[in-house]
Each structure stands twice: as C-alpha cells, then as structure tokens.
Structure 1
Amino acid sequence: MSVLLDPFAVAFVQRALLGGALVAVVCAVVGTWVVLRGMAFLGEAMAHGMLPGIAIATLTGFPPVAGAAVSAAAMSVGVGALQRRGRLSADTSIGLLFVASLSLGVIVISASRSFATDASAILFGDILAIERGDLVLLALAAAVTLLVAAAGHRSFVALAVDPRQAQLLGLRPRLAHILLVGLVTLAVVSAYQAVGSLLVVGMLLGPAVAAGAWTRRIVPTMALAALIGTAAVAVGLVLSWHLGTAAGATVAFTAICSGAVSTGIRALTRPTRPALDERTA
C-alpha cells in the first residue's frame, strides 16, 4: 500500500494530482462532446496550434499559458474564417492551419539556444511543476467549463443530433458551435502544462471514450470520464514516480489505455452496444 501512497507524501506531487484532477474534469466535459460530434481532429489541431504562442512566450519571458491561449484562440478564429469565406472543407481548413502552426512553432523553438530543454517542456509539459497559482487558474477553467456546458446543454444536444432542426427550434446552432469550439480551446490550454501540447488529446479523448463504453447518456458519461481521468492522473503519477518516466507522458498514456481497456472489456461483454458517437442525450 505504501508503494501507492508514498509519492503523494510529497507536496509537488499533491499539487500535480489536484491540478491533474481539475484538468480531468475540464477534459471530461469537453471530451464527451468532442467524441460525440467527431471533433477529435479539431482538438488535435488546437493542441498543436498552441505551439507558436507557447514558444514565443517562453523565449520572451511571458507566461506560456498566456501564449497558449492567444495562439489557440487565433487558431479557432482562423479555422472559422477559412470555412466562412473560402470554399475549403472543415478538415482541409484545420489541416492547413495545423501544419502551418506546428511548423512555425518548431521554427521559433529552434531559434532558442536551449532548444532541447524548451522543446521538451513545450511538447510534453511538466505536471510536477504545477504551482498554487496554476491550481487557481485550473479551478477557474473548470468552473467556466461546467457553467457553459450546463447553460448550453440543450443547444449542444440539438446541434449534435440535427443542426437544421436546432435552427428551427431557435436553439442557435451556430452560436452553440462557437461555444463548443471555445470549450475545446479552453480544454487544450488548461491541459497544456499537465501533459504538453503533443499529448493534450490523450486527456481529451481517452477518459471520454472509456466512459462512453459504460453509459449511453451524456451527463453520466461526463461524470464517469472525470473519475476515470482523475484515476489516470493518479496511476500515471505513481508509475512515473517508481519507473522514473516523464510524468505528463505517463499520465497521457494511462488515459489512452483506459479508453482501450474499457472499450475492449465492453466489447467482450456486450459487443452490440452502440458507440458514444451514435448516441443522443
């Protein structure tokens, strides 16, 4: 038992667990909608789209999270602009900005004298470096996510089921989509320090997929995903502590494994159960 509890006797691991749990809540709520609406590519693009802002902020001495927020917001606005004013599909627009942002980020990082150190921190995060101030920001992000998700739940459901019907019902599907993209942006920025820009999608998708294997309803899926995500953080931190591996990467890998294991077990017990992206509220 002490093998499991020993790491959490250290203050910075306690902060990492609490911060990771808050990230798990944000990613559970947003990740459920990402899986339901097939927005995984957008989430991946947002995560990589943060790279230029993070790199510039790191090299100029500004808070990396601020750079991540600005860059991710610019990415979301850029995707929307290309879709509205051009003839490009959503995937094409996202793909173009995805590669452009990733390339620009690598160019900026490579200009740094401490290239390897900066790249490691930016790409893979450092959950063990979470401070009290970071916990306050993560708690605020979780509160905003829960409030927006609760207020927009009906519109989000209608958008997922039938956007045209949502428009007829006066549920403003375009606004709902904008809010949902905003939540994805908030989630990837919140999860950045915990798992880095490359591994954010692991926290966003893994627990949501795992929870979706056990319940058909949206809100219970979110709640279960939050529990699974928190458990993944705890298990990842323990494994990292004893194996000497990178904490953020271990947490992200554990989160993805939770999805694979849950889906596999459920397929063996009830192979005809519908996937999360085939469900409604």
Structure 2
Amino acid sequence: MPPFLELFDVAFVQRALVAGTLVAVICAVVGTWVVLRGMAFLGEAMAHGMLPGIAVATLVGAPPLLGAAVSAAAMSTGIGMLQRRGRISADTGIGLLFVASLALGVIIVSASRSFATDATAILFGDILATTTGDILTLAVVAIITLVAACLGHRAFVALTFDPRQAQLLGLRPRAAQVLLVALVTVAVVAAYQSVGSLLVVGMLLGPVVAAGQWTGRIPTTAALAAVIGTVSVALGLLISWHTSTAAGATIAFVAICSGAVSTLAHRLFVRPERNS
C-alpha cells in the first residue's frame, strides 16, 4: 500500500471508514428525497434541534446518541403539530423551533464549565472515536432506511409530484410526509457521530446534488450519491490525517465540494457534446 494510504491500516480509521460508508448510504437515500421535496431547511433545523438533547445527555452521563434521538423526535413532533394546526406556515414553524432548539442547546452548553471538549464533538462530530457498537447501530439504521424507502417509494413519488393524485390513488400523502420526516430525523441522528450537528446537512445534500448532475432517475441518483458520499468520507479522512484537520468537518467539506465539482464537470464535458 502506498505510504499516503497507510492510515487505512489503522483500526480506528477502518472503523471510521465503515461507519462513514453506512452514513453515506443512509444520507444518500434520504437526501435524494430531501432535495426533490425541497426539505433542506427541515434537515438543517432537525440537525440543530438535536443540540439540547445531546447536551443534556452528556451532562447526565447518558449516551449522546440517545439524547440526539429524543431531541430530534421532539423537534419532529413539534413540526408536525404546527403543520396540522395550520395557523402559521411550515417554514415559519420550522424556523421558530430551529432557533428555539439551537438557543436552548447553547444555553445548556454555556451553563456548564466542563463542556469545552464535548462541545467540539457535539458540533463537529468525532468519527475517529467510532466503536464496533456504533457500526452495528448504523448498519441496523441503514437497513431500516432502505426498507422504509423501498416500501414508501410510490407514495413518496406521488407526494413529490402530485399530492392530490396521491390522495385519489389512496397513497395517504399525509402518512407519507410523516414517514419522510421520520427518515430525515433518523438520517440526521445517524450522521451525528460522524460529522456533528452543524455539518449533517453537508452529507445529506452534497452527494445528492453531485449525483443529480448525471442522472434523473430516483433510484440511480440515490445509488450514485451513496458512492460519492463514500468517496467523500475516504477522501475526507485522508486529507484530515495528513493535514491534521478535524475529520468530521473535512468530510462534510469534501461532500459539499463534490456537488460543485460534479456540476463543473457536467458543464465542461456533457454540454459541449450536446452542442456539437
């Protein structure tokens, strides 16, 4: 193995790569629908909505992932209640909950004098600390996500392109929307360990935007996004190792850059062929 790739011989880097690959698959499947449905703001709000739960769990000695799940579920429930009542727009409700959750998380963190190192992990992840148990959890989440996406595919398509037709076909668009929000919640919580609460959306959007330049089919987009996300994880770990930068932030940055690189490549190599 070339010297610059020797890091992948290290056990904790191997675990990080496996975990990152599973996160890439989860985020690719869910992120495809996030992009198609224009739910990026929801994903961002959900990611920041985890902060209070993670902070409280860390303070009381509970697993941070459990706190993230509880907090994200509460955020999802709050969004659903606001949308059902219909007194304010969905974006306004999400924005209010987003800011409230973020502010509460910061208050909890700032109230503790022993939160300096924990706060860094919360915000930017700690993928190099991934354990075998974390990998098993991500594997289960990946399987659940794939099964739910397959079972709900027809309803998701109808909901995205013609909600009224979905209702007429008996596809229950409201239930499909609830399931989709639940999948976004699961993806955000799953990716928390890898890239932290601030950078989760990078894994949700970057690879999908990159994949969308080359295919218009939903399953193909999700599959290609999973490959691009996996490459982003490996490249991010490689860059982080040799430049001594934060691994989670580097991975998220590479994932976002994949979208820009893919767009540029598509313009350079595909459009000229069409014009010739």
TM-score in same-fold range (> 0.5): yes
Structure 2 counterpart of 1:158, which letter?
A: A
1:277 — aligned with what? none
| Distance apart, 1:267 and its partner CA | 2.7
The reply to whether residue 171 of structure 1 matches residue 168 of structure 2 is: no
1:41-120 aligned within 5 A = 41-120=41-120
| Distance apart, 1:61 and its partner CA | 0.3
> 2:236 & 2:253 partners in 1: Cα distance?
8
Q: Runs of 5+ in structure 1 lacking a partner?
A: 273-281
1:33 — aligned with what? 33
TM-score (norm 2): 0.96
Q: Alpha-carbon deviations, 1:211-232, whole Å to 9, x = none?
A: 0111110000000000000000
> 2:34 & 2:83 partners in 1: Cα distance?
19
Structure 2 counterpart of 1:96, which letter?
A: L
2:200 — aligned with what? 200
Q: Alpha-carbon deviations, 1:250-276, whole Å to 9, x = none?
A: 00000000011101221334459xxxx
Q: Runs of 5+ in structure 2 lacking a partner?
A: none
> 1:54 & 1:60 partners in 2: Cα distance?
10
1:129-144 aligned within 5 A = 129-144=129-144
> 1:95 & 1:271 partners in 2: Cα distance?
38
Instruction: Provide the aligned length of Structure 1 versus Structure 2.
Output: 272
> 2:117 & 2:238 partners in 1: Cα distance?
24
2:237 — aligned with what? 237
Runs of 4+, deviation exceeding 4 Å: none
Give 3-state SS (helix, strand or coil) of 1:72's partner.
helix
Structure 1 counterpart of 2:153, which letter?
A: H
Contact 1:48 1:101 in 2 (8 A): yes
Structure 1 counterpart of 2:33, which letter?
A: W
1:3-14 aligned within 5 A = 3-14=3-14
Q: Alpha-carbon deviations, 1:60-88, whole Å to 9, x = none?
A: 10000000000001001101111212411
Give 3-state SS (helix, strand or coil) of 1:215's partner.
coil
Contact 1:109 1:118 in 2 (8 A): no
Structure 1 counterpart of 2:256, which letter?
A: I
1:145 — aligned with what? 145
> 1:119 & 1:215 partners in 2: Cα distance?
39
2:154 — aligned with what? 154
Q: Identity rate of aligned residues, in percent?
A: 74
Structure 2 counterpart of 1:63, which letter?
A: P
> 2:116 & 2:74 partners in 1: Cα distance?
26
Structure 2 counterpart of 1:204, which letter?
A: L
The reply to whether residue 226 of structure 1 matches residue 226 of structure 2 is: yes
Give 3-state SS (helix, strand or coil) of 2:87's partner.
coil
> 1:266 & 1:135 partners in 2: Cα distance?
35
> 2:211 & 2:270 partners in 1: Cα distance?
15
2:187 — aligned with what? 187
Structure 2 counterpart of 1:227, which letter?
A: V
> 1:117 & 1:42 partners in 2: Cα distance?
28
TM-score (norm 1): 0.95
> 1:244 & 1:124 partners in 2: Cα distance?
15
Contact 1:199 1:252 in 2 (8 A): yes
